[in-house]
Amino acid sequence: MAKTIVGILISGRGSNMRALVEAAEADDYPAEIALIISNNSDAGGLDFAAEKGILSQVIDHRDFDRREDFDAAIDEALRAANVQIVCLAGFMRIVSKWFVDRWRDRLINIHPSLLPAFKGLHIHERVLEKGVKMTGCTVHFVRPEMDEGPIIAQAAVAVHEEDKPDDLAKRVLMAEHALYPKALALVASGNARVTHERVKISNVDVPTEYLMNPVGN
């Protein structure tokens, strides 16, 4: 069976991108990473892409007067590489509604909380301020609203009393690296589909095994 062609958008070191690339090296993985695009020429993830022999491209948002023009340039590059699914992996730009609609149900993102809780920024600080006992990460299909969209998979991470934001961030990132490749595999294989704004896997709701055991106990 032919593999699904994937493009990844990054802005920095691209640690989640690395996790996806390494997972895709397995012969039985259903996706092939064909293109990595960064809006930042200094992104460390570009060096990793070069080491792996993956086509990469810099499209600097500062070269465009309008967000839609920037997104159109990214769209053109993705389509030229025959990309079928787009993964956001530390891409620090808000994409336009036009781009989201153009890639609807083929654009996925990972967020470092258990959505719909703790949308936006400064997540780990807010988690600790609220005193919650469990946080985690979420992979979801992207919608125009920030951190919205049908949830593909989630992983739980325990919060410790002595945690500082950086401590918690490291454990959540470990969970992200484990979860994102599994979620992409579900989408790339066609086993995760959106029906009435909910994700169905093999025609059922997301099974409990995709809510991973707590990390960091």
Residue 159 makes CB contacts below 8 A (sequence gap 6+) with 127, 128, 132, 133, 134, 135, 168
Which pTM does this prediction carry? 0.93
Burial class (CB in 10 A: 0-12, 13-18, 19+), 57: middle
Residue 132 and residue 43 share a domain: no
| Per-residue model confidence (pLDDT) at position 44 | 96
Number of domains in the chain: 2
Residue 115 and residue 217 share a domain: yes
Given 72, 103, 134, the domain boundary residue is 103
Which of the residues 61, 111, 124, 140 is marked catalytic? 111
Q: How far apart are the C-alpha atoms of 139 and 90, rounded to whole Å?
A: 13
The token pair that represents 10 in the structure block: 């990054």
Residue 116 and residue 88 share a domain: no
Given a contact cutoff of 8 angstroms between Cβ atoms, the answer to whether 178 and 155 are in contact is yes
Residue 142: give its domain's CATH number.
3.40.50.170
Outline where DSSP puts E strands in the chain: 4-10, 31-38, 55-58, 85-88, 107-111, 134-141, 151-158, 192-195, 198-201, 204-205, 211-215
| Per-residue model confidence (pLDDT) at position 202 | 79
Residue 211 and residue 145 share a domain: yes
How many other C-beta atoms can be found within 10 angstroms of the C-beta atom of residue 91?
24
Residue 55 and residue 114 share a domain: no
Range of the domain at 69: 1-103
Residue 141 and residue 99 share a domain: no
Per-residue pLDDT of the chain (217 residues; tens, 9 = 90+): 799 999 999 999 999 999 999 999 999 999 999 999 999 999 999 999 999 999 999 999 999 999 999 999 999 999 999 999 999 999 999 999 999 999 999 999 999 999 999 999 999 999 999 999 999 999 999 999 999 999 999 999 999 999 999 999 999 999 999 999 999 999 999 999 999 999 999 744 444 444 444 444 4
Active site residue 111: yes
